[in-house]
Amino acid sequence: MSSIKIECVMGEKLRIGESPLWEEKEGTLLFVDITGQKVYRWNPASNNLQTVSVEAPVGSVALRNSGSYVVALGNKFGILKWEDQSVTTIAHVDEDKPNNRFNDGKVDPGGRFFAGTMAQELQPAVVERNQGSLFVLLADHSVITHFDKVDISNGMDWSLDHKTFFYIDSLSYSVDAFDYDVTTANISNRRCLYRLGKEECLPDGMCIDIEGKLWIACYNGGRVIRIDPETGKNIQTVKLPVDKVTSCCFGGKDYSEMYVTSASDGMDDQWAARQPQSGCIFKVS
Ligand SMILES: O=C(O)[C@H](O)[C@@H](O)[C@H](O)[C@H](O)CO
Ligand SMILES: [Zn+2]
């Protein structure tokens, strides 16, 4: 990425765009609008945009081998069948915390679905603290709880050798690393890899690139940053024309493009007028 091009490619204004994911087989980008309670499938080549409305805030979506999707919806894991727009619940979490909802999630290198929860926000980034947990959905639909006392469970990914799990609890302003055992999904030895600076603001979604470097979406920081997990240093900053940058993933031909989601919830009229593309999806190439 020596000379960088940033384009707004999907102009529908989402409330909280999140969980972008490239579906290679279809050549489509999947993503959710959390508070808009929708899952989207968008084909950049044809610009065809499909939507499924769901009955609760949807934090994340992931692919299944069978062609359907798994969603982290409200306080449930569900299977989404696109053809009949149906969601079937397969597991519940946080049943003692009716104000909680799922947030970001991702499939690990062993095919398990990791997703975390948080208390519903009173306004963006304002939550009752310590209410969330990080969960793992296994193939047999049983659920493991990795840890609790999370403020806003957010971005995650795994190192290319599968030995490290990277995780963000947004209000800690930190990107953390754990040792990872891909045979058992065990995590251990939590440490801070990178602490966000003032201008970077809140860490939100993240993804890893083919060189093993991490890309972090900076909510209210208007940028994505590239972190070297070996040195814990910021090695690149890419600014976007909106402040509420929420998540990122690689996709497109040979995964050579980065798609970045954004949000529009929580902006007053003046702020929204200054950044009319808030809530859109950007392509960085
Ligand atoms: O998208 C998410 O992860 C949360 O649901 C959002 O509400 C914000 O990003 C959060 O407030 C900032 O961390
Ligand atoms: Zn997020």
Q: What is the pLDDT of residues 225-281, one digit of tens each?
A: 999 999 999 999 999 999 999 999 999 999 999 999 999 999 999 999 999 999 999
Average pLDDT, stretch 111-122? 97
Return the pLDDT at 208. Answer: 98
**Whether residue 1 has pLDDT greater than 90:** no
Residues 94, 104, 151, 204: which is the catalytic one? Answer: 204
**103 appears as a binding residue in the annotation:** yes
Mean pLDDT of the chain: 97
- Please give the CATH topology (third level) of the domain spanning 6-284: Neuraminidase (2.120.10)
Average pLDDT, stretch 74-83? 98
Is the C-beta atom of 100 inside 6 A of ligand 1? Answer: no
**204 appears as a binding residue in the annotation:** yes
User: Is 204 among the residues known to form the active site?
Assistant: yes
- Which one, of 152, 155, 203, 159, lies nearest residue 179 by Cα? 159
Q: For the chain, how far is it from start to end, CA to CA, in angstroms?
A: 7
Return the pLDDT at 122. Answer: 87
Distance CA 90, CA 83 (A): 19
**Number of Cβ atoms within 10 Å of the Cβ of 281:** 23
Distance 207 CA to ligand 2 centre (A): 12
pLDDT band at 2 (very low <50, low <70, confident <90, very high): low
Distance CA 97, CA 158 (A): 29
Return the pLDDT at 11. Answer: 84
Residue located nearest, by CA, to atom 4 of ligand 1:
103
The residues spanned by each domain of the chain are 6-284
**Whether residue 103 has pLDDT greater than 80:** yes
Instruction: Please report the beta strands in 163-201, taking only residues with DSSP state E, as ranges in sequence order.
Output: 164-169, 174-181, 186-195
The share of the chain scoring above pLDDT 70, in percent, equals 99
